[in-house]
Structure 1
Amino acid sequence: MRLYTGNVTDPAYNATVRLTRALDRAGVRYEFDGVNPDAGANWNAWQENLIDFVPRLFRTVPDHGPSAGHGRLKGEITPPAAGTTPTPYVTEDGFVTFETTTDFTDAKHVTLWANDAPGGSWLRIPMSREGDRWRATVGPLDPWFYYYKFIVDRVSVKDTSNPTKVTTEPTWSTFFISGQRSRLLSDVPAGQGGKVESLTYRSNVTNQDRTALVWTPPGYDPKRAQPYPVFYLQHGGGQNHTDWVEMGRAKQILDHHFLDGNLVPMVVVMSNGNVSDFNKELLDNIDPAVRARYNVSGDPSQQALAGLSMGGGQTFGMLKAHPGRFAYIGAFSAGFGSGAGVDVAAINNGTKLLRVYVGDVTDFVYPSFMAGLTTMDNLGVHYEFDGVTPGPHGWDVWQKNLIDLAPRLFKR
């Protein structure tokens, strides 16, 4: 007799704990394959069970212990009582329990949507009714930054018990699992990081006042003799100037890189790219406002521009229209586009670094991105390709892109 169970997300986990105790008390011999750490109550787990079990039938086998990597039972798992703990509730080993409020007692169908699949892909996980609330437990999740929402009878709903917010996605909430893998996304100790400030400027493109967020490094000196390099970091479509801070963890990434000694002291500007003429907005409005308020350089060799998705397209547009205006260029999940009229010599002579990034085949811009590489190759544009970043058109990918790009700036 050989017993199998998944991790604590397996509804049979507690029953297996009780069964093994009963068998031990009764003196019944059995084998236990151990707790599958990665799966529970799904076909991945059951397929692994069958793969292990079938070769043991009708013959003598030397190994009667658990499968490699499987752990021991740790006793019955009892989630906190409904309504008694912050949501989501995260255990030390990375299992996460989500819980709605009592507002959806009469709902027919509730699911959890989150970036908890490999590479940060999104899954919809059915939630179960527990009393007058709905619950779901997932995991174990790797240390990282996660975001989610509830879908109640096909309507997106925010977890109002979670105080986090995403300005451009009002139904999203976020949470963080700490660990070495997510260290660069974590908050640095209080008082040791840089500052994020709001900069209000007048736009002659939109004819209104607009806002950018600006990160200054620890020890920023407005009177320093040598002006700081400046890095303009742009968001994607459907987003605005708040997203790199609220979702991209830009402050945390920059803080850690600076404290680790990887980052040239610089000023980073995250502006609102939702305009009809981005080049004019950046060159005539944002850049002058930044140089008026901050001690930053106007030398193109000390200026960088990068963006994700739409912002990456805007970055390529600036590169083509004003080659050499920004010596450091980064594009995340964006295609180069047409090669018509491109001044290749001006780009190559004026650009110290052009580095491009894309997610895997689940990133919907992957085909156009790859076509863009071919275009640049045919034109003779000098660039670096970081290789495919595992994951979709989403923040897990873009956070990793920024982690790679930021330490490369202003070092050539």
Structure 2
Amino acid sequence: MKTLLKLAFSSLLALPLTANAQQETFPEGSVPNEHNLEGVQWPRVDAKGNTYFKIHAPYAKKVQISFRGPMTREADGYWTYVSPKPETVGFHYYQIIVDSVSAADPGTKSYYGMSKWVSAIEIPEGLPYDKVQNVPHGDIRMKKYWSEMTQAWRMCYVYTPPQYDKNSNETYPVLYLQHGGGENETGWVFQGRMSNIIDNLIAEKKAVPMIVVMDRGYAMPPGQSTVRFDNPKTNAFLAGAAVVPPSAPRQTPRPAMNMQRMLGLFPKLLVKEIVPMIDASFRTKPTRENRAMAGLSMGAMHTYIVVMNNQDKFASLGAFSGGGAGPVDQIDTLYDGIFANPQKFNKEFKLFFMSTGSEENPDRVKTFAEAMKAKGLKNVVYYESPGTAHEWLTWRRSLHEFIPLLFK
């Protein structure tokens, strides 16, 4: 028995030497995707933005990488894919499609997009604003609460700034920050890297310390299901990050859709239940001047509805990739004519921020912002993210521009 154990132990010791002797080679200049699990080498990205995928599926008949194309079967049971040209800088969702079955890549972290858990590959921007730096860090807390409107338990993520627990007598302004269609309350935490962005801005003394609330933007009456964003019609309507491949045309026509069903009860729920719950649970400054809301895509729609119809509760607004506040040819009549009343608007709004990517048909947003400014409306800010479409890099950049302007 002892002899057998010694032989088995000797064999285990020899395994790393055998693995090293057959060390895998990688495309020159490439590194593992930053969203890979620890130690996983594929997919890979090089400095030019080329991507390399490798999947082990020896019994599959066909394997694809979503939004990219078919993979090539190799003799050893692996399938490979090399991008025909560099991909666009930023964060891109993808799935593996094995014999028509779509799934997240088991070698990467998973992110909630397209109403399901999917994978992501990142073409690095090469800037530090959204990276973890050696600065004081805030906390992200999970807050559960009961909703009378939906008759269900809900949960939101709440960012509290550095020193929140230590400075127990200090109160803070609040930003309500919403995700887009097909995503959820985890979006800004993980895909959006909001805590890194805000931590770094606070450390640079460019931002006021604040609380940030990120809730799930779907809320329906009991017994009704929410709209899902994993079908072609809904995806085309939103033209979201989950459905814009790196090489696809950036301007997607939007078919008709039941807007009321998509937005559901959430705008009312935020005002009637979430805001009071946050004010009761955290040390907030519960005044309109210290309360703001922002969101991307569907979240921008939520933001317009909530803020423009509750100006007694919010004084600042941020709409990222959400168009203007309405048709520009109707600007004088929108929201009880507030855009036609500079005196009232300038008194009510501390910040009216609109942003878009340069590759997602920015004219509509830019024209609305210019029309507002032409009417003498102040505190109107337009930001255009260069070279990006309806995707997370647009929204990270937008948040980075928006936060320093809040609560000043």
**TM-score, normalising length from structure 2?**
0.68
**Residue from 333, 337, 341 that aligns with 1:342:** 337
1:90 CA drift (Å): 4.5
Report the equivalent of 1:263. Answer: 207
Q: Distance between the aligned counterparts of 2:394 and 2:29, measured in 1? A: 35
Report the equivalent of 1:108. Answer: 62
Supply the RMSD in Å over aligned alpha carbons: 3.3
Q: Is the 8 A contact 1:184 1:256 kept in 2?
A: yes
Q: The residue matched to 2:300 in structure 1 has which SS?
A: helix
Report the equivalent of 1:407. Answer: 404
Q: Distance between the aligned counterparts of 2:301 and 2:273, measured in 1? A: 19
Q: Is the 8 A contact 1:159 1:171 kept in 2?
A: no
Q: Is the 8 A contact 2:40 2:107 kept in 1?
A: no
Q: Distance between the aligned counterparts of 2:384 and 2:30, measured in 1? A: 42
Q: Is the 8 A contact 1:212 1:269 kept in 2?
A: yes
**1:358 maps to 2:356:** yes
Q: Distance between the aligned counterparts of 1:380 and 1:202, measured in 2? A: 43
Q: Partner letter of residue 243 of structure 1?
A: G
**Residue from 54, 70, 75 that aligns with 1:99:** 54
Q: Partner letter of residue 327 of structure 1?
A: A
Q: Distance between the aligned counterparts of 2:152 and 2:210, measured in 1? A: 28
Q: Is the 8 A contact 1:214 1:269 kept in 2?
A: yes
- Cα distance per residue 1:154-192 (max 9 Å; x no partner): 553321122x1113444522355667x232222335x94
Q: The residue matched to 1:244 in structure 2 has which SS?
A: helix
Distance 1:78 1:314, change over 3 A: closer
**1:166 maps to 2:120:** no
How many correspondences in the alignment?
318
Q: Distance between the aligned counterparts of 1:216 and 1:205, measured in 2? A: 27
Q: Partner letter of residue 244 of structure 1?
A: W
Distance 1:396 1:342, change over 3 A: same
Q: Distance between the aligned counterparts of 2:404 and 2:178, measured in 1? A: 17
- Cα distance per residue 1:277-328 (max 9 Å; x no partner): 3332112211111112211110111111111111111211123212252222
**1:89 maps to 2:85:** no
- Cα distance per residue 1:195-237 (max 9 Å; x no partner): 1111112222212111110111111137643411111101122
**1:272 maps to 2:216:** yes
Q: Distance between the aligned counterparts of 1:133 and 1:90, measured in 2? A: 18
Q: Is the 8 A contact 2:180 2:298 kept in 1?
A: yes
Report the equivalent of 2:127. Answer: 182
Q: Partner letter of residue 387 of structure 1?
A: E
Q: Is the 8 A contact 2:385 2:394 kept in 1?
A: no
Distance 1:375 1:278, change over 3 A: farther
Q: Distance between the aligned counterparts of 2:359 and 2:163, measured in 1? A: 42
- Percent sequence identity over matched residues? 30
1:109 CA drift (Å): 5.1
Q: Is the 8 A contact 1:273 1:311 kept in 2?
A: yes
Q: Is the 8 A contact 2:65 2:94 kept in 1?
A: no
Q: Distance between the aligned counterparts of 1:199 and 1:208, measured in 2? A: 14
Q: Distance between the aligned counterparts of 1:149 and 1:192, measured in 2? A: 36
Greater shift, 252-261 or 268-277, is seen at 252-261
**TM-score, normalising length from structure 1?**
0.67
> Where does the alignment leave 5 or more consecutive residues of structure 2 unmatched?
1-26, 32-38, 220-263, 328-332
1:108 CA drift (Å): 3.1
**1:297 maps to 2:241:** no
- Cα distance per residue 1:73-130 (max 9 Å; x no partner): xxx94999xxx95322356786543211226x433352353xxxxxxxxxx2543222
1:371 CA drift (Å): 5.8
Report the equivalent of 2:11. Answer: none
Q: Which has the higher contact order (CA 8 A, sep 6+)?
A: 2
- Cα distance per residue 1:344-401 (max 9 Å; x no partner): 44433111111110123435xx465356446646766442212354322111211111
Distance 1:161 1:233, change over 3 A: same
**1:282 maps to 2:270:** yes
Greater shift, 316-325 or 367-376, is seen at 367-376
Bigger Cα Rg: 1
Distance 1:77 1:86, change over 3 A: closer
Q: Is the 8 A contact 1:145 1:185 kept in 2?
A: no
Distance 1:409 1:217, change over 3 A: same
